[in-house]
Structure 1
Amino acid sequence: MSDDATSVFVNPLRDPQDRRLPRIAGPCGLVIFGVTGDLSRKKLMPAVYDLASRGLLPPGFSLVGYARRDWADQDFAQVVHDSVKEHARTEFREEVWKQLAEGIRFVQGDFSDDVAFDQLRQTILDLDRVRGTRGNHAFYLSIPPRFFSDVIGQLKEHGLTDPKPGAWRRVVVEKPFGSNLETARELNAIVSEVFPPDSVFRIDHYLGKETVQNILAMRFANAMFEPVWNANYVDHVQITMAEDIGIGGRAGYYDGIGAARDVIQNHLLQLLALTAMEEPTSFDAKSLRIEKQKVLESVVLPRRLDLATARGQYTEGWSGGVKVPGYLEEEDIPGSSHTETYAAITLGVETRRWAGVPFYLRHGKRLGRRVTEVAVVFKRAPHLPFSATATEELTQNALVIRVQPDEGVTMRFGSKVPGTAMEIRDVNMDFAYGGSFTESSPEAYERLILDVLLGEPPLFPRHEEVEQSWKILDPIVDYWAEHGKPDTYEAGTWGPASADKMLARDGRVWRRP
C-alpha cells in the first residue's frame, strides 16, 4: 500500500496518534439525541472530552444536546462536566474543558416538537457563525430504534439534512439495527431515504476496540499465522462474550430481545467475519466490507437446530460473592418471560479455507466472569512420539485473542517439563497490551466518533452486512420461539447444561476463560 495521504487516512491499522499525519477533525459539531441516557453520560460525552484533550478536535468544535429536560445551556454543560470528571479516560484539564464548554448548547423538546427542531436549526446556524463549524454536523441517535423515523423525518422536514455546498451532514445509528430482517430493512429504508450511504454510520462499538482491530494486524502483518489459518490445521473456533452482570435497569429494552439479538447478531458475527475473512486488497472501507460480507454470505446453519444451539435464562445465585436474583425476579420482568439471557450457536463457513470447521458463538449474562475472546483451537498433532503418561494432560494448541478485559493474545502449546523425564505439559505465552505499549489504548467510542467526524467508514457495518446477519440469526430465533421456554442456569456459572452437551456431541468442550 502506498504511503500517500489517502491510504494513511483510511487504514484502520494506523495509530490514531500518528505524529506524521495526525487524524484531526476539521470544523464540525455533534448533536446528540438522548443525552440523558447512560450511553451518553458514560461513553459519548467522556469520549468527546478525551478527543479534545488529545488535540483531535478543532478549537471551535460544538456539542449540542437534545432532550425533554428543562435545561438551559449551562445546566447541560454541568451534566457534561460531571460525566467527564467521572468517566473520562484522560486527565481533566481546566483549559481543555473551558474551550469545549464554550461550544456546548442544549435544545429542549420531544421528537415531535416542530418548535424545538426549528430551535435546533437556528442553534446550528448560530454555531456555524460563532464557532466556525461551517455547516458540518453529525446527528447521533442515542435513542431507541422506534424513534428513528420520527427524528430523521423531523431533521429532513426542518432542513437539517441538507448542508450548504461544501459542507456535510451525517447520522450515527446505535444498535440494534432492527429486531429481525424485516425490521432491519424497514429501518434501512427510513435512513437511506434521507441520508446517502456514505453519510450513515452504524455503530458497533466492538469494532472500535484495539484488540478487535488487532485481529487484522495479527493475521495479515505476520507470516507465521496465515499458513495455518485454515481447515487443514484449525479444529474449531470459539467466540465468547461473557458478562458477570445481569440486565441492570434495561428491562424495558432487553425483555423480548434477548442474548442472541442483543449481541450475537452484531458483535459476535462481526468477530466471526474478521476472523474468517480473506486478505483484503487494501484496508479501505470498501475492501474490508467486501471480504466481511463474503464470509457472512458463506455462513451456513446446522440442519439440527435442536442439537447445534442452546439457550438459557439465569436463576438466582452468587456473583462476585453477592447473592443475586434470577432473571424472572428482576425489576419489571414478567414472570412468564421466555427471553433468553444465554445463547450459543454452531455455524459453518462454507469456503475453501473453512469448510468443515465449526464456529461456536456464545453470549450470556450472569456468567462466571466478564470476558470477550476469540479462541482458534488447532487440531492435535498427527503423531506424538511420547509415552502415553508423558502427554496425558496435553490439550490442543490454541491462539486466544482477548478483546476484554486484559486485552492481548495468548498462545497455548505443549512444552517439556524441566527434569530428566520426557514429560509434556501445556503452557501459555502471553502478549498484553498494557505491558507492551506505554500509551493507553483509546476507548472504542473515541475512535468511532472521530471516524464519524472525519467521514471514515472502515469500522462501520453497512446495511448489507446487517441484513445478512439477520438472515443468519432469524431462523434460530424463530425456532426457539416455537419450542417453549429456555433452559435455566444458576447465576455465577457458565451457562445451561444444554450448551455443554452441544459441544460434547462434537467431542469438544467450552474453554474456561
Structure 2
Amino acid sequence: MATERTALFMFFGATGDLAYRKLYPSLFNLYKKGSLRTHFAVIGTSRQTLDDDKFRVAVKKSLADSGNRADSKEASDFISHFYYQAHDVTDTAHYSVLKDAAEKLDKKYKLQGNRIFYLSMAPQFFGTIAKDLKAQGLMSTNEDAFNRLVIEKPFGRDFDSAKQLNDALSNSFEEEQIFRIDHYLGKEMIQNIEALRFGNTLVESLWNNRYIDNIQVTLSEKLGVEERASYYDNSGALRDMVQNHIMQIVSLLAMEQPVAFTDVDIRAEKVKALRSLRVYNVADAATNFVRGQYGSVDNQPDYRHEDNVPADSTTETFVAGKLLFDNYRWSGTPFYVRTGKMLADKFTRVDVVFKRPLVDIFAFPQSQNTPLAANVLTIFVEPHAGFSLQLNAKTNDAGFSTEPIKLDYLVDAEKSKETPEPYERLLHDVLKGDGTNFSSWPEVSYAWKFVDQIRRVWDLQAPNFPNYTPHSMGPAAAEELIQRDHREWIYRLNN
C-alpha cells in the first residue's frame, strides 16, 4: 500500500467540468491505492447554492461516469469526506465561513493543519483568492503543517500579465508552495524522457549535436474548438499549447543531466536550457514560425463559423516552428514543433532524428541500394505509450541492399490500465510536496519571453486565413518550414 497522506483539500471551482471529469476520480484513485484513507477531507466551493448531500451526489456521479463502482462501500466512505460551501471569492466575509469549516474538519479528521488550495476557475481571480487566503487566516500557522497552492493554466497571457499574477501569488505563498499544473507533465511517457536519457548510457552518450540532426515534437488534435471557442479565440494555439505543454517537453529534451533526481535540481537544469533558447528578432521570428487556421470540409465549418467565434477572427488554430538553443550541447541542432486542431488524428509524439553516416559504404556505383535512412528514436506519448527505434538492416534476399526496420516497444493493454492518469500523479505529487512535474516561475517566464516575440511579429500582419484543410497535418507553410532546411517531418500522412 502507498503511504497515507494527511491534508484538507479546498477546491475553488468545485462544480466545474475539470473537477467532475478529472479531479474527483483522481482523488478516488489515490484513496483506493492508500495515499488517502482516514485523515483527509475536501471542501468544495463555487457560487452555486448546494448542500453537502447534493454535492456528494454530484461527486458520486463523477465517479460513476469515470468508470468506478460508485455504489460500493469504498466509494461511499470516500464521498463522506466531501463538504460544500457556497462562496463568492470577491467577498472577504465569505472566507471566514471557509475558515470555520476548515478548522472543524481539521479537528474531525486530525489533518494536522495541512492544507491544499486548488484553483480551477477563471484565472483573473487567482490573485484575489491567494491574497484573501492569507489575509483572512485560512492558511495554516502550524509550524509542522504545509500550505500548498495549485494553479490551473493559463498562467497569464503574456510575460507582463504572468509576472503580475506571480507577484500577486508571491505576496501570500513562497515559490516552493506554488504548484502550476501542466497535465502533460503527468503523462507516463513525458516522465519517461528522463528515464530514457539518464538511465541509459547508450542514449545519453549520443544525446547531443554531434549525433542528433534534429528533434521533432508533435501535439496533434483531431477535434476543433468544440465548446471551448470563447476561451480559445482569446488564446490561440501559440498561447494554449506552445507556451506551456510544448516548451515543457522541449526543456526536458534539451536539459543537462541534473546533479540529483530532485525537483530543485531538475528545475534548475530546465531553466538553464530555456535560458539558452534563442529569442528571435523580428525577421527570424517571421521565418521560423508559421501559423494556420482550419477551413471547412463537408459538414465541418471553418473555424470562423464555429459557435462563439467572430467571423473575422485571426486566431491561429495551428502553429509550427523551429527552436534553436545557443549552448554547447545543441548548437546547430534544431527542434521542430507543431500543434494544431482539426488535424489528421489525435496523438502526441517526439521524433529524435539521428545524423546519417558520413560515408554510405553501401552506395557503391553498381549498387541499386537506396541511400541509408536516418536512425529515428520515437517516443509515443498518446494515445499509445511506448518507443520505436528505426535502424538500417540488410534485406532478406540474395543481393546486398539495406532497408529501415523498427524495434518497437508499446505498453500493453494490462499495463495501460494500471498506469495512473496525469491528474492522479500530479495530485499525489502535491500531497508529497514534490514540484518535479510542475512549472516553476523561471520556466514560465522564459517560455513567455520566447512566445511573446512570436506573437508580436504575428500581430504586425494580418494572416491569410483559413489556410489548411481539416484532417490534414496543417498548412503547406509547415512543410515548407522544414523542407527549407532539407529535412522532413517524420510523421506524415500515409507513411
**TM-score, length of structure 2 as denominator length:** 0.94
1:57-456 → structure 2 map (5 Å cutoff): 57-87=36-66, 94-302=72-280, 304-317=284-297, 323-387=299-363, 390-392=368-370, 394-434=372-412, 437=415, 440-456=418-434
Q: CA deviation at 1:92?
A: 5.1
Instruction: Give the structure 1 partner of residue 471 of structure 2.
Output: 492
Q: CA deviation at 1:285?
A: 1.0
Output the amino acid matched with 1:363.
T
Structure 1 range deviating more: 388-397 or 53-62: 388-397
The answer as to whether partners of 1:211 and 1:407 remain within 8 angstroms in 2 is: yes
Cα deviation 1:371-406 (Å, max 9, x = unaligned): 111111011122222247644275311101111110
Quote the Cα distance in structure 2 between the aligned partners of 1:276 and 1:259. 22
Quote the Cα distance in structure 2 between the aligned partners of 1:52 and 1:341. 39
- Are residues 1:50 and 2:29 paired? yes
Change (3 A) 1:277 1:246: same
The answer as to whether partners of 2:70 and 2:76 remain within 8 angstroms in 1 is: no
Q: CA deviation at 1:436?
A: 8.8
Q: Which ranges in structure 2 are unaligned for 5 or more consecutive residues?
A: none
Q: CA deviation at 1:341?
A: 0.5
The match for 1:505 among 479, 484, 488 is 484
Output the amino acid matched with 1:312.
G
Residue identity (%): 35
Change (3 A) 1:26 1:356: same
The match for 2:12 among 4, 25, 33 is 33
Quote the Cα distance in structure 1 between the aligned partners of 2:292 and 2:463. 8
Quote the Cα distance in structure 2 between the aligned partners of 1:442 and 1:254. 28
Output the amino acid matched with 1:257.
S
Q: CA deviation at 1:156?
A: 2.2
Cα deviation 1:87-107 (Å, max 9, x = unaligned): 25x665712212211210011
Q: Please give the secondary structure, in 2, of the residue aligned with 1:290.
A: helix
Change (3 A) 1:279 1:436: farther
Q: CA deviation at 1:486?
A: 5.2
The answer as to whether partners of 1:25 and 1:453 remain within 8 angstroms in 2 is: no
Output the amino acid matched with 2:336.
Y
> Please, what is the CA RMSD of the aligned residues?
1.8
Q: CA deviation at 1:439?
A: 6.4
Q: CA deviation at 1:135?
A: 1.7
The answer as to whether partners of 2:131 and 2:169 remain within 8 angstroms in 1 is: no
Q: Please give the secondary structure, in 1, of the residue aligned with 2:332.
A: coil
Q: CA deviation at 1:438?
A: 7.7
**How many matched pairs?**
487
Structure 1 range deviating more: 158-167 or 32-41: 158-167
Cα deviation 1:400-425 (Å, max 9, x = unaligned): 11111101111112222212122322
Output the amino acid matched with 1:202.
R
Structure 1 range deviating more: 127-136 or 258-267: 127-136
Q: Please give the secondary structure, in 1, of the residue aligned with 2:205.
A: helix
Structure 1 range deviating more: 261-270 or 116-125: 116-125
Q: CA deviation at 1:52?
A: 0.6
Output the amino acid matched with 1:34.
G
Q: CA deviation at 1:316?
A: 1.5
Cα deviation 1:339-395 (Å, max 9, x = unaligned): 100011111111111110011111101100111111110111222222476442753
Q: CA deviation at 1:301?
A: 3.8
Structure 1 range deviating more: 122-131 or 429-438: 429-438
Q: CA deviation at 1:295?
A: 0.4
**TM-score, length of structure 1 as denominator length:** 0.91
Q: CA deviation at 1:169?
A: 1.5
Structure 1 range deviating more: 339-348 or 419-428: 419-428
Output the amino acid matched with 1:381.
P
Quote the Cα distance in structure 2 between the aligned partners of 1:101 and 1:117. 24
Cα deviation 1:275-325 (Å, max 9, x = unaligned): 11111110111110111011000011455222211100011226xxxx322
Instruction: Give the structure 2 partner of residue 14 of structure 1.
Output: none
